[in-house]
Amino acid sequence: MNEKVLFENKIGVIGAGHIGRALILKLLEKGFPYENIQLTYNGSIFTFSDIADNNLIDMISSNAEIVKSSSILILSVPPQSFKPIGDFNLDKDTLVISFMAGISSDEVKKQTGSDNVVRIIPTGPDTIMNSHAIAGVYGESKVAEELFDLLDIDYYVLDDEEKMNYMAIAGCLPAVYCRIDPESDENREAVDKISEDFPEFKEIAEKCEKLVPDEGREEFIKSFSTPGGITEAIFIRLNNGRSMYHALMRGLERNEELSR
Ligand SMILES: NC(=O)c1ccc[n+]([C@@H]2O[C@H](COP(=O)([O-])OP(=O)(O)OC[C@H]3O[C@@H](n4cnc5c(N)ncnc54)[C@H](OP(=O)(O)O)[C@@H]3O)[C@@H](O)[C@H]2O)c1
């Protein structure tokens, strides 16, 4: 598919928070037509203010409208907020791209009605904005891959959905490396141990070392931290003086909790 065909899609972003807005802004930067993107959020005045500051007000829609009119539906709400949205009743072939950690493809399929579901777990929103995002992808779709390429995402198509759990902690590494020196024994030990279960982890971790910003590290960490999410869980342990391996294992556990 060429860009012209891709740009004919109607993209609906349910949950225009950190990740959702980063995606939209990157799509616009790449020339995706403004009028073919719709978004929703949950009424936060801070989110509204960010949407306004980025000139995205005309994209604001409702979940009901987005579900009706989108050919590509992006799910970027916190995992805990997905179930309460209720059934989507989509056509089976509507492409659904879920950024949510912890929610399996089967659950997304069941609730949306689509059979065409792709999951992606990227590094944080800033890395999407600066074209350095690394991601794990589960599920196959040419259109989704075209979109990830357009967004300059360096993605690994994973052969087992279990690996997405490890990807959820790998995606936090650029933030973790703002606190833990990648050259430290602590990091090497954590990476070696986790690579035993998720071999791609080592290569992804090496790439993540290069994503640590020189300045504004606290803001960078904040942008990775979905409230109640995995990065937050990891940082609670790191702030309590636990080892990086222990903190990442807590992240894995939090991912598991979110999936219930
Ligand atoms: N941040 C990361 O680095 C990262 C990395 C990989 C994956 N993820 C995944 O990406 C998803 C989004 O993360 P995030 O950091 O962007 O979270 P976020 O900043 O909290 O954004 C979530 C957005 O969803 C909106 N929302 C909540 N309930 C909604 C509903 N019923 N209908 C429409 N919108 C609703 C919220 O609206 P309000 O603003 O009005 O509350 C908010 O804008 C999560 O599932 C997370 O697991 C995040």
- CA angle 177–186–237, rounded 5-degree value: 65
- Encode burial over 10-49: b for 16+ CB neighbours within 10 A, e otherwise: bbbbbbbbbbbbbbbbbbbeeebeeebbbbbbeeeeebee
Q: How many A from CA of 184 to the centre of ligand 1?
A: 32
Enumerate the β-bridge partners of residue 155. 135
Q: Give nearest CA residue, ligand 1 atom 5.
A: 124
> For the chain, what percentages of helix, strand and coil (3-state, to nearest 5) are there?
50, 15, 35
Ligand 1 within 6 A of CB of 228:
no
CB atoms near residue 232 (< 10 Å): 17
Nearest Cα to Cα of residue 254 among 234, 226, 224, 238: 234
- Give pLDDT tens digits for 15-37: 999 999 999 999 999 999 999 99
Note the residue count of the chain: 260
- Give pLDDT tens digits for 218-249: 999 988 888 888 999 999 999 999 999 999 99
Choosing from 59, 76, 104, 234 the residue with most ligand 1 atoms within 8 A of its CB, the one to mutate for a pocket test is 76
Choosing from 40, 99, 120, 156 the residue with most ligand 1 atoms within 8 A of its CB, the one to mutate for a pocket test is 99
Distance CA 4, CA 156 (A): 25
Using the atom order of ligand 1, give the atom closest to the CA of residue 19.
Answer: 16
The pLDDT of residue 259 is 81
The answer to whether 125 touches 153, Cβ cutoff 8 Å, is no
DSSP state of 225: -
Across the range 200-217, mean pLDDT stands at 94
Distance CA 193, CA 197 (A): 8
The pTM assigned to this predicted structure is: 0.94
- Give pLDDT tens digits for 110-141: 999 999 999 999 999 999 999 999 999 999 99
Using the atom order of ligand 1, give the atom closest to the CA of residue 44.
Answer: 40
- What does residue 160 show for φ and ψ, rounded to 5 degrees? -145, 125
Question: What domains sit in the chain, N to C, each tagged with a CATH number?
Answer: 3-157 (3.40.50.720), 162-258 (no CATH)
The pair of three-digit structure tokens given for residue 61, joined into one six-digit string: 């829609």
Ligand 1 within 6 A of CB of 63:
yes
Residue type for 222, please? K
- Give pLDDT tens digits for 180-194: 999 999 999 999 999
Nearest Cα to Cα of residue 1 among 144, 201, 110: 144
Q: How many A from CA of 189 to the centre of ligand 1?
A: 32
| Chain position carrying tokens 């109640």 | 228
Ligand 1 within 6 A of CB of 22:
no
Distance CA 220, CA 239 (A): 16
Ligand 1 within 6 A of CB of 49:
no
The answer to whether 76 touches 96, Cβ cutoff 8 Å, is no
